[in-house]
Amino acid sequence: MDAKKLIALTGFMGSGKSRIGREISGRIGIPFYDLDEIIEREEKKRITEIFQAMGEPHFRMLEYKYLRDLIGEKRGVIALGGGAIQKAEIRDLLERHAITVYLNVPMETLVQRLKKDKNRPLLRNSDGKLLEDQQLRSRIAEILERREPLYQKADIVLGIQPGWTRNQTAHELICLLKTYAPDTIA
């Protein structure tokens, strides 16, 4: 079997997929792709607008469409949307074409990062306002409960420790990639 050419980062929203993806792609000299940025550019709408106008199922279909376009001969690191792995077709593409990495961030770190982020449609109330602390924590726990079994199926699970810097996280991930799939980062 040919070496997989894509390194796909998955994990909950706010887990640092884009930041870490950019860091490791720069370190190992391969392109970086952010699936959310691709969707926004191609659809000429922000993710929140797509969710509001068309709903989550439509957004997941767009994730599949643009991920499918990336897969093939391209080599690189791709940051997936936090819920992309919920779609069976996406999981199938990833299984066949990518090394999947789950950035497993502690719940408290997620809450701290997300309580200031207004661009997360799944973390809003019915009025469109960002959820307050306890409601936010409950919603994150509820979503994580559904997604965690799927995240755990990743080829590599990186348990990110509180206080790790971007550099430290990237270093740990590159070490794991060198062990798991040396051809991909060579």
Q: Look at the alpha carbons of 176, 181, 182, 184 in this order and tell me if their dihedral is positive or negative.
A: negative
Spell out the SS3 assignment of 71-83: CCCCCEEEECCCC
Query: pLDDT by residue (tens digit) across 70-116?
Result: 886 678 999 998 889 999 999 999 999 999 999 999 988 887 777 76
pTM for the structure as a whole: 0.88
Which residue has better confidence, 22 or 139? 22
Amino acid code (one letter) for 170 = A
Q: Please tell me what DSSP assigns to residue 124.
A: B
163 Cβ contact list (under 8 Å, min separation 6): none
Q: Which CATH number applies to 6-185?
A: 3.40.50.300
Report the pLDDT value the prediction gives residue 23, as an integer from 0 to 100. Answer: 95
Tokens read off for 16: 């640092």
The rounded distance, in Å, linking the Cα atoms of 91 and 121 is 22
Place of tokens 């643009």: 66
| Residue 34: count of CB within 10 angstroms of its CB | 19
Per-domain residue ranges of the chain: 6-185
